[in-house]
Protein backbone atom coordinates (compact mmCIF):
# COMPACT_ATOMS: atom_id res chain seq x y z
CA UNK A 1 0.00 0.00 0.00
CA UNK A 2 1.32 3.41 -1.00
CA UNK A 3 1.64 5.68 2.05
CA UNK A 4 3.95 8.44 0.81
CA UNK A 5 3.33 11.22 -1.68
CA UNK A 6 -0.47 11.79 -1.96
CA UNK A 7 -0.15 12.45 -5.70
CA UNK A 8 1.06 8.89 -6.26
CA UNK A 9 -1.87 7.52 -4.25
CA UNK A 10 -4.30 9.58 -6.32
CA UNK A 11 -2.86 8.20 -9.57
CA UNK A 12 -3.09 4.58 -8.45
CA UNK A 13 -6.59 5.10 -7.03
CA UNK A 14 -7.74 6.64 -10.31
CA UNK A 15 -6.38 3.74 -12.34
CA UNK A 16 -8.03 1.32 -9.89
CA UNK A 17 -11.43 2.75 -10.87
CA UNK A 18 -11.09 1.00 -14.23
CA UNK A 19 -8.63 -1.82 -13.54
CA UNK A 20 -10.00 -4.47 -11.20
CA UNK A 21 -7.27 -5.85 -8.93
CA UNK A 22 -3.67 -5.72 -10.24
CA UNK A 23 -2.72 -3.03 -7.71
CA UNK A 24 0.73 -4.57 -7.33
CA UNK A 25 1.23 -4.19 -11.09
CA UNK A 26 0.19 -0.54 -10.95
CA UNK A 27 2.60 0.14 -8.09
CA UNK A 28 5.44 -1.48 -10.06
CA UNK A 29 4.59 0.74 -13.05
CA UNK A 30 5.02 3.73 -10.76
CA UNK A 31 8.30 2.32 -9.40
CA UNK A 32 9.57 2.00 -12.99
CA UNK A 33 8.50 5.52 -13.92
CA UNK A 34 10.05 7.10 -10.83
CA UNK A 35 13.31 5.19 -11.34
CA UNK A 36 13.30 5.82 -15.12
CA UNK A 37 13.26 2.14 -15.98
CA UNK A 38 11.19 0.07 -18.41
CA UNK A 39 9.08 -3.06 -17.93
CA UNK A 40 8.76 -6.36 -19.73
CA UNK A 41 5.10 -7.35 -19.24
CA UNK A 42 4.32 -11.04 -19.47
CA UNK A 43 1.13 -13.01 -19.13
CA UNK A 44 -1.73 -14.52 -21.12
CA UNK A 45 -3.75 -12.40 -23.58
CA UNK A 46 -6.83 -10.57 -22.42
CA UNK A 47 -5.76 -9.89 -18.83
CA UNK A 48 -5.73 -6.08 -19.14
CA UNK A 49 -2.15 -5.17 -20.01
CA UNK A 50 -3.22 -2.56 -22.58
CA UNK A 51 -5.95 -1.22 -20.31
CA UNK A 52 -3.51 -0.75 -17.43
CA UNK A 53 -1.05 1.12 -19.66
CA UNK A 54 -3.72 3.41 -21.15
CA UNK A 55 -5.28 4.20 -17.78
CA UNK A 56 -1.88 4.90 -16.24
CA UNK A 57 -0.92 7.31 -19.04
CA UNK A 58 -4.26 9.12 -18.77
CA UNK A 59 -4.05 9.41 -14.98
CA UNK A 60 -0.62 11.10 -15.12
CA UNK A 61 -1.88 13.48 -17.82
CA UNK A 62 0.55 12.01 -20.33
CA UNK A 63 0.37 10.71 -23.87
CA UNK A 64 -0.06 7.04 -24.76
CA UNK A 65 0.94 5.16 -27.89
CA UNK A 66 0.60 1.48 -28.72
CA UNK A 67 2.94 -0.14 -31.23
CA UNK A 68 1.94 -3.51 -32.68
CA UNK A 69 5.16 -5.20 -33.69
CA UNK A 70 5.20 -7.18 -36.95
CA UNK A 71 8.07 -8.66 -39.00
CA UNK A 72 7.72 -5.97 -41.70
CA UNK A 73 7.98 -3.05 -39.27
CA UNK A 74 11.00 -0.80 -39.86
CA UNK A 75 12.91 1.35 -37.34
CA UNK A 76 11.54 4.47 -39.05
CA UNK A 77 7.98 3.27 -38.34
CA UNK A 78 8.79 3.56 -34.62
CA UNK A 79 11.25 6.45 -34.41
CA UNK A 80 9.98 8.65 -37.25
CA UNK A 81 11.34 9.90 -40.56
CA UNK A 82 11.77 12.96 -42.74
CA UNK A 83 9.50 13.66 -45.69
CA UNK A 84 9.22 16.32 -48.38
CA UNK A 85 6.29 18.66 -47.75
CA UNK A 86 4.97 19.82 -51.14
CA UNK A 87 2.99 22.67 -49.60
CA UNK A 88 6.01 24.29 -47.98
CA UNK A 89 8.53 22.97 -50.51
CA UNK A 90 10.77 21.84 -47.66
CA UNK A 91 11.77 18.74 -45.73
CA UNK A 92 9.83 18.10 -42.53
CA UNK A 93 10.21 15.67 -39.67
CA UNK A 94 7.45 13.26 -38.74
CA UNK A 95 7.83 11.85 -35.26
CA UNK A 96 7.07 8.18 -34.68
CA UNK A 97 4.93 6.63 -31.94
CA UNK A 98 7.96 6.35 -29.63
CA UNK A 99 7.35 10.02 -28.78
CA UNK A 100 4.91 9.46 -25.91
CA UNK A 101 5.07 9.34 -22.13
CA UNK A 102 3.83 5.73 -21.99
CA UNK A 103 4.53 3.42 -24.93
CA UNK A 104 3.08 -0.09 -25.07
CA UNK A 105 5.07 -2.28 -27.44
CA UNK A 106 2.95 -5.32 -28.16
CA UNK A 107 4.63 -8.60 -29.12
CA UNK A 108 8.14 -7.15 -29.21
CA UNK A 109 9.68 -10.41 -30.36
CA UNK A 110 7.69 -10.39 -33.61
CA UNK A 111 9.84 -7.49 -34.87
CA UNK A 112 13.13 -8.13 -36.64
CA UNK A 113 16.38 -7.71 -34.65
CA UNK A 114 17.06 -4.41 -36.46
CA UNK A 115 13.75 -2.93 -35.34
CA UNK A 116 14.11 -4.34 -31.84
CA UNK A 117 17.53 -2.70 -31.58
CA UNK A 118 16.16 0.70 -32.62
CA UNK A 119 13.53 0.56 -29.89
CA UNK A 120 15.94 -0.60 -27.21
CA UNK A 121 18.43 2.13 -28.12
CA UNK A 122 15.70 4.73 -27.60
CA UNK A 123 14.92 3.18 -24.21
CA UNK A 124 18.56 3.21 -23.16
CA UNK A 125 19.56 6.65 -24.44
CA UNK A 126 16.35 8.60 -23.88
CA UNK A 127 16.63 10.15 -27.32
CA UNK A 128 16.57 9.17 -31.00
CA UNK A 129 18.53 10.27 -34.05
CA UNK A 130 16.64 10.85 -37.29
CA UNK A 131 18.60 11.87 -40.38
CA UNK A 132 21.40 13.19 -38.20
CA UNK A 133 19.08 15.16 -35.91
CA UNK A 134 18.99 14.16 -32.24
CA UNK A 135 15.58 14.48 -30.60
CA UNK A 136 14.90 14.01 -26.90
CA UNK A 137 12.03 11.75 -25.93
CA UNK A 138 9.27 13.04 -23.63
CA UNK A 139 9.78 13.03 -19.89
CA UNK A 140 8.67 11.00 -18.05
CA UNK A 141 9.13 8.11 -20.46
CA UNK A 142 8.02 4.53 -19.82
CA UNK A 143 8.11 1.58 -22.22
CA UNK A 144 5.98 -1.47 -21.48
CA UNK A 145 6.78 -4.38 -23.79
CA UNK A 146 5.01 -7.70 -24.17
CA UNK A 147 6.27 -10.78 -25.96
CA UNK A 148 4.67 -13.97 -27.23
CA UNK A 149 5.98 -17.42 -26.24
CA UNK A 150 9.41 -18.40 -27.55
CA UNK A 151 9.43 -20.55 -30.65
CA UNK A 152 6.08 -19.31 -31.94
CA UNK A 153 5.84 -18.85 -35.68
CA UNK A 154 7.19 -15.53 -36.98
CA UNK A 155 9.13 -14.56 -33.85
CA UNK A 156 12.68 -13.26 -33.37
CA UNK A 157 13.57 -14.08 -29.75
CA UNK A 158 15.10 -11.29 -27.71
CA UNK A 159 18.77 -11.78 -26.91
CA UNK A 160 20.02 -11.88 -23.33
CA UNK A 161 21.51 -8.42 -23.83
CA UNK A 162 18.15 -7.02 -24.94
CA UNK A 163 16.22 -8.60 -22.09
CA UNK A 164 18.80 -7.18 -19.67
CA UNK A 165 17.83 -3.66 -20.78
CA UNK A 166 14.45 -4.00 -19.11
CA UNK A 167 14.62 -2.87 -15.49
CA UNK A 168 11.79 -5.12 -14.35
CA UNK A 169 9.79 -8.10 -15.55
CA UNK A 170 6.19 -8.14 -14.34
CA UNK A 171 3.77 -11.01 -14.75
CA UNK A 172 0.09 -10.12 -15.22
CA UNK A 173 -1.99 -13.19 -14.50
CA UNK A 174 -5.64 -14.15 -14.67
CA UNK A 175 -8.03 -12.41 -12.23
CA UNK A 176 -9.34 -14.10 -9.11
CA UNK A 177 -12.94 -15.38 -9.14
CA UNK A 178 -14.37 -12.31 -7.37
CA UNK A 179 -12.30 -9.98 -9.55
CA UNK A 180 -13.55 -11.56 -12.77
CA UNK A 181 -17.12 -11.23 -11.52
CA UNK A 182 -16.49 -7.53 -10.87
CA UNK A 183 -15.05 -7.13 -14.37
CA UNK A 184 -18.12 -8.50 -16.14
CA UNK A 185 -20.44 -6.57 -13.79
CA UNK A 186 -18.64 -3.27 -14.51
CA UNK A 187 -17.68 -3.84 -18.14
CA UNK A 188 -19.92 -1.04 -19.49
CA UNK A 189 -18.35 1.43 -17.06
CA UNK A 190 -14.83 0.19 -17.81
CA UNK A 191 -15.31 0.44 -21.58
CA UNK A 192 -16.35 4.11 -21.26
CA UNK A 193 -12.74 4.74 -20.22
CA UNK A 194 -13.44 8.09 -18.59
CA UNK A 195 -10.11 8.31 -16.73
CA UNK A 196 -9.37 11.67 -15.09
CA UNK A 197 -5.93 13.26 -15.29
CA UNK A 198 -5.00 13.72 -11.65
CA UNK A 199 -1.40 14.80 -12.34
CA UNK A 200 0.78 16.26 -15.07
CA UNK A 201 3.95 14.86 -16.67
CA UNK A 202 5.98 17.72 -15.21
CA UNK A 203 4.73 16.88 -11.71
CA UNK A 204 5.68 13.24 -12.15
CA UNK A 205 9.10 14.09 -13.55
CA UNK A 206 9.80 16.40 -10.62
CA UNK A 207 9.39 13.39 -8.33
CA UNK A 208 12.25 11.62 -10.12
CA UNK A 209 14.75 14.04 -8.55
CA UNK A 210 13.14 13.60 -5.13
CA UNK A 211 13.49 9.82 -5.41
CA UNK A 212 17.24 10.20 -6.02
CA UNK A 213 17.54 11.82 -2.58
CA UNK A 214 16.33 8.67 -0.79
CA UNK A 215 19.16 7.31 1.35
CA UNK A 216 20.56 3.82 0.79
CA UNK A 217 22.89 2.67 3.58
CA UNK A 218 26.10 0.76 2.94
CA UNK A 219 24.52 -2.26 4.64
CA UNK A 220 21.61 -2.30 2.18
CA UNK A 221 23.96 -1.74 -0.78
CA UNK A 222 25.98 -4.74 0.40
CA UNK A 223 22.76 -6.77 0.70
CA UNK A 224 21.82 -5.93 -2.90
CA UNK A 225 25.20 -6.89 -4.31
CA UNK A 226 25.46 -9.99 -2.10
CA UNK A 227 22.14 -11.30 -3.44
CA UNK A 228 23.26 -10.83 -7.03
CA UNK A 229 26.71 -12.35 -6.47
CA UNK A 230 25.27 -15.32 -4.55
CA UNK A 231 23.07 -16.20 -7.53
CA UNK A 232 25.98 -15.78 -9.96
CA UNK A 233 28.03 -18.29 -8.01
CA UNK A 234 25.50 -21.15 -8.07
CA UNK A 235 26.43 -24.26 -10.02
CA UNK A 236 22.91 -24.40 -11.47
CA UNK A 237 23.32 -21.01 -13.17
CA UNK A 238 24.57 -20.79 -16.74
CA UNK A 239 24.19 -17.01 -17.08
CA UNK A 240 24.04 -14.94 -13.91
CA UNK A 241 22.50 -11.51 -13.39
CA UNK A 242 24.57 -8.64 -14.74
CA UNK A 243 25.46 -5.48 -12.78
CA UNK A 244 22.26 -4.00 -14.20
CA UNK A 245 20.41 -6.24 -11.73
CA UNK A 246 22.17 -4.50 -8.83
CA UNK A 247 21.66 -1.08 -10.42
CA UNK A 248 17.92 -1.51 -10.93
CA UNK A 249 17.43 -3.05 -7.50
CA UNK A 250 19.13 0.04 -6.08
CA UNK A 251 17.11 2.48 -8.19
CA UNK A 252 13.84 0.62 -7.77
CA UNK A 253 14.19 0.36 -4.02
CA UNK A 254 14.68 4.12 -3.74
CA UNK A 255 11.43 4.65 -5.65
CA UNK A 256 9.57 2.07 -3.57
CA UNK A 257 10.81 3.62 -0.31
CA UNK A 258 9.68 7.05 -1.52
CA UNK A 259 6.25 5.68 -2.39
CA UNK A 260 6.03 4.19 1.11
CA UNK A 261 6.78 7.60 2.63
CA UNK A 262 10.31 6.81 3.76
CA UNK A 263 13.52 8.75 3.13
CA UNK A 264 15.60 5.58 3.36
CA UNK A 265 15.60 2.05 1.91
CA UNK A 266 15.10 -1.03 4.09
CA UNK A 267 15.89 -4.70 3.31
CA UNK A 268 12.18 -5.44 2.81
CA UNK A 269 12.24 -3.13 -0.22
CA UNK A 270 15.00 -5.27 -1.70
CA UNK A 271 13.10 -8.48 -0.96
CA UNK A 272 9.98 -7.17 -2.68
CA UNK A 273 11.72 -6.07 -5.86
CA UNK A 274 14.33 -8.84 -6.18
CA UNK A 275 12.03 -11.29 -8.03
CA UNK A 276 10.90 -8.76 -10.67
CA UNK A 277 14.45 -7.43 -11.10
CA UNK A 278 16.54 -10.61 -11.17
CA UNK A 279 14.47 -13.47 -12.62
CA UNK A 280 14.58 -12.38 -16.28
CA UNK A 281 18.35 -11.89 -16.09
CA UNK A 282 19.22 -15.46 -15.10
CA UNK A 283 19.60 -18.56 -17.28
CA UNK A 284 19.83 -22.02 -15.78
CA UNK A 285 21.87 -24.90 -17.15
CA UNK A 286 19.81 -27.29 -19.35
CA UNK A 287 20.25 -30.27 -17.03
CA UNK A 288 18.68 -28.36 -14.12
CA UNK A 289 15.85 -27.07 -16.31
CA UNK A 290 15.16 -30.69 -17.27
CA UNK A 291 14.80 -31.48 -13.57
CA UNK A 292 12.10 -28.81 -13.25
CA UNK A 293 14.16 -26.16 -11.48
CA UNK A 294 12.94 -22.59 -12.06
CA UNK A 295 14.77 -19.29 -11.75
CA UNK A 296 12.10 -18.19 -9.29
CA UNK A 297 13.25 -21.03 -7.00
CA UNK A 298 16.82 -19.75 -7.20
CA UNK A 299 15.82 -16.20 -6.25
CA UNK A 300 13.67 -17.51 -3.39
CA UNK A 301 16.65 -19.48 -2.06
CA UNK A 302 18.85 -16.40 -2.28
CA UNK A 303 16.38 -14.36 -0.25
CA UNK A 304 16.25 -17.12 2.37
CA UNK A 305 19.99 -17.80 2.63
CA UNK A 306 21.75 -14.46 2.11
CA UNK A 307 22.17 -12.70 5.43
CA UNK A 308 19.78 -9.77 5.89
CA UNK A 309 21.39 -6.66 7.41
CA UNK A 310 20.01 -5.11 10.56
CA UNK A 311 18.98 -1.50 10.05
Predicted structure pTM score: 0.88
Q: Is residue 188 part of a domain?
A: yes
Q: Which residues contact 65 (CB under 8 A, 6 or more apart)?
A: 97, 98, 99, 100, 102, 103, 104
Q: Is the pLDDT of residue 1 over 70?
A: no
Q: Is residue 97 part of a domain?
A: yes
If asked whether residues 90 and 235 sit together in one domain, one would say no
Q: Is residue 118 part of a domain?
A: yes
Domain termination site, one of 174, 205, 236: 205
Q: What is the pLDDT of residues 78-136, one digit of tens each?
A: 888 877 777 777 777 788 899 999 999 988 888 888 888 888 878 888 888 877 778 88
Domain count within the chain: 2
Domain termination site, one of 173, 205, 237: 205
* Local structure of 93: helix, strand or coil: strand
* Local structure of 185: helix, strand or coil: helix
Backbone angles phi, psi at 94, to 5 degrees: -110, 115
Share of residues in the chain with pLDDT > 70 (%): 96
Q: Is residue 76 part of a domain?
A: yes
If asked whether residues 37 and 175 sit together in one domain, one would say yes
Q: Is residue 121 part of a domain?
A: yes
Domain termination site, one of 183, 205, 227: 205
Give the domain extent around 241: 212-305
Averaged pLDDT for residues 214-223: 95
If asked whether residues 33 and 178 sit together in one domain, one would say yes
Cβ–Cβ < 8 Å for 63, 43: no
Q: State the pLDDT confidence band at 152, using cuts at 50, 70 and 90.
A: low
Please report, for the domain that includes residue 261, its CATH number: 1.10.8.80
If asked whether residues 71 and 218 sit together in one domain, one would say no
Q: Is residue 311 part of a domain?
A: no
Q: State the pLDDT confidence band at 254, using cuts at 50, 70 and 90.
A: very high
| 3-class DSSP string for 99-160 | CCCEEEEECHHHCCHHHHHHHHHHHHHCEEEECCEEEECCCCCEEEEECCCCCCCCCCCCCH
Q: Is residue 310 part of a domain?
A: no
Q: Is residue 189 part of a domain?
A: yes
Q: Which residues contact 222 (CB under 8 A, 6 or more apart)?
A: 309
Please report, for the domain that includes residue 61, its CATH number: 3.40.50.300
If asked whether residues 98 and 229 sit together in one domain, one would say no
If asked whether residues 185 and 222 sit together in one domain, one would say no
If asked whether residues 184 and 108 sit together in one domain, one would say yes
Q: How far is the C-alpha of 228 from the C-alpha of 223, rounded, in Å?
A: 9
* Local structure of 268: helix, strand or coil: helix
Amino acid sequence: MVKGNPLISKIIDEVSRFVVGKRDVMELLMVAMLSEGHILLEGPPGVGKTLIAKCFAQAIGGTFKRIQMTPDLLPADILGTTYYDLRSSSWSLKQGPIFANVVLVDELNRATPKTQAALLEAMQEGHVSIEGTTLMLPRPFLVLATQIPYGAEGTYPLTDVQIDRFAFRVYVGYPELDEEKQIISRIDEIEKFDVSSVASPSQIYSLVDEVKKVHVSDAVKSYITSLVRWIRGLREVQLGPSPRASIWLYKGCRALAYMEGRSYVIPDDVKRLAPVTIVHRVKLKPEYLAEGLKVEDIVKRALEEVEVPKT
